[in-house]
Chain A
Amino acid sequence: MHESTSPSSSVPGTETQTVVFQLGSECYGVDIFRVSEIIQLRDITPVPRTQPYIRGLVNLRGKTIPVVDLRARFGLSSQDSEDTRIIVVDSEQGQVGMIVDAVREVITLSSQQIEDAPPLVTDMSTDFVRGVAKLDESLVTMLNLDRALAA
Chain B
Amino acid sequence: MSAELDLSQYLDLFLQEAEEQLEILEQETLKLEREPTPERLQTIFRAAHTLKGSSRAMGFASFAGLTHEMENILDQLRSNQRPVSSEVTDLLLECVDGLGKIQASIAEGQGEVGDYSDLLSRLQFFLQAPVEAVGTPAPSSTETTFALSPELEDALQAAQAQQAVWVANVRLSPECVMKFVRAFMVLNAISTSGEVLATIPEQAQLEDEQFEQEFQVYFQTSASVEELQAQFSSFSEIESITLRPYLAATPAPPEDEQAAPPQEAKSGPAPSANAPGRRQDSGQTVRVDVARLDTLMNLVGELVIDRTRVAQIGHELHAKFSDPALDALEETVSHITRITSDLQDQIMKARMLPIETVFNRFPRVVRDLAQKLGKSVELELLGGETELDRSVIEVIGDPLLHILRNSVDHGLELPSEREAAGKPAQGKVRVSARHEENHIVIEIMDDGRGIHAERVKAKALAQGLVSPEAAERLTEKEILQFIFASGLSTASELSEISGRGVGMDIVRSNIQRLGGLIDLETSLGQWTKFTLRLPLTLAIIRGLLVDVSGVVYVLPLSSVVETFMVSTSKIQTVNRREVIVVRGLTTPILRLGSVFGSAVASAESSSLYVVIVGLAEKRIGLVVDRLIGEQEVVIKSLSTFCGDVAGVSGATILGDGHVALIADVSGLIESEAA
Residues of A within 8 A of B (CB): 43-50, 54, 56-59, 61-66, 68, 91, 93-94, 96, 149, 151
The 4 tightest CB contacts between A and B, nearest first, are A62-B302, A48-B596, A45-B659, A66-B641
Whether B659 pairs with A93 at a CB distance below 8 angstroms is no
Tell me, in angstroms, the Cα distance from A47 to B664 when the chains sit together.
13
Whether A54 pairs with B659 at a CB distance below 8 angstroms is no
Whether B659 pairs with A57 at a CB distance below 8 angstroms is yes
Say how far B278's CB is from chain A's closest CB, in angstroms: 41
Note all chain B residues with C-beta closer than 8 A to A64: 636, 638-639, 651-653, 659
With A45-B551, A62-B653, A64-B636 already in contact, the answer to whether A50 and B642 are too (CB < 8 A) is yes
Note all chain B residues with C-beta closer than 8 A to A68: 641
Say how far B647's CB is from chain A's closest CB, in angstroms: 7
Contact of B551 among A46, A61, A62, A63 (CB under 8 A): A46
Whether A59 pairs with B641 at a CB distance below 8 angstroms is no
Contact of A59 among B552, B595, B597, B653 (CB under 8 A): B653
Whether B659 pairs with A48 at a CB distance below 8 angstroms is no
Whether B643 pairs with A151 at a CB distance below 8 angstroms is yes
Note all chain A residues with C-beta closer than 8 A to B647: 48-49
Note all chain A residues with C-beta closer than 8 A to B657: 59
Whether B641 pairs with A151 at a CB distance below 8 angstroms is yes
Contact of A49 among B596, B639, B641 (CB under 8 A): B596
Whether B661 pairs with A94 at a CB distance below 8 angstroms is no
B645 at the interface (CB under 8 A from A): yes
Whether B642 pairs with A47 at a CB distance below 8 angstroms is yes
Say how far A61's CB is from chain B's closest CB, in angstroms: 7
Residues of B within 8 A of A (CB): 298, 301-302, 305-306, 551-552, 595-598, 636, 638-643, 645-648, 651-653, 657-661
Whether A96 pairs with B641 at a CB distance below 8 angstroms is yes
Whether A48 pairs with B648 at a CB distance below 8 angstroms is yes
Say how far A89's CB is from chain B's closest CB, in angstroms: 11
With A45-B661, A59-B653, A64-B636 already in contact, the answer to whether A94 and B301 are too (CB < 8 A) is no
Contact of A47 among B636, B638, B640 (CB under 8 A): B638
Whether B653 pairs with A54 at a CB distance below 8 angstroms is no
Say how far A21's CB is from chain B's closest CB, in angstroms: 20
Say how far A56's CB is from chain B's closest CB, in angstroms: 8
Tell me, in angstroms, the Cα distance from A44 to B651 when the chains sit together.
12
Tell me, in angstroms, the Cα distance from A151 to B651 when the chains sit together.
20
Whether A94 pairs with B640 at a CB distance below 8 angstroms is yes
Whether A50 pairs with B639 at a CB distance below 8 angstroms is no
Whether A49 pairs with B638 at a CB distance below 8 angstroms is no
Whether B643 pairs with A57 at a CB distance below 8 angstroms is no
Whether B639 pairs with A93 at a CB distance below 8 angstroms is yes
Say how far A9's CB is from chain B's closest CB, in angstroms: 24
Say how far B625's CB is from chain A's closest CB, in angstroms: 15
Say how far B402's CB is from chain A's closest CB, in angstroms: 31
Tell me, in angstroms, the Cα distance from A65 to B643 when the chains sit together.
13
Whether B639 pairs with A65 at a CB distance below 8 angstroms is yes
Whether B653 pairs with A49 at a CB distance below 8 angstroms is no
Say how far B549's CB is from chain A's closest CB, in angstroms: 10
Tell me, in angstroms, the Cα distance from A39 to B309 when the chains sit together.
20
Tell me, in angstroms, the Cα distance from A151 to B653 when the chains sit together.
25
Contact of B598 among A48, A54, A61, A66 (CB under 8 A): A48
Q: Which residue of A lies closest to B306 (CB)?
A: A62
Note all chain B residues with C-beta closer than 8 A to A149: 641
Tell me, in angstroms, the Cα distance from A46 to B298 when the chains sit together.
23
Tell me, in angstroms, the Cα distance from A63 to B645 when the chains sit together.
19
A sample of 23 cross-chain residue pairs with beta-carbon separation below 8 angstroms, ordered by A number, consists of: A45-B551, A45-B552, A46-B598, A47-B642, A47-B645, A47-B648, A47-B661, A48-B596, A48-B645, A50-B642, A56-B659, A57-B639, A58-B659, A59-B658, A61-B302, A62-B301, A62-B302, A64-B638, A93-B640, A94-B639, A94-B641, A149-B641, A151-B641
Tell me, in angstroms, the Cα distance from A46 to B552 when the chains sit together.
10
Say how far A29's CB is from chain B's closest CB, in angstroms: 22
With A59-B653, A62-B305, A64-B651 already in contact, the answer to whether A49 and B640 are too (CB < 8 A) is no
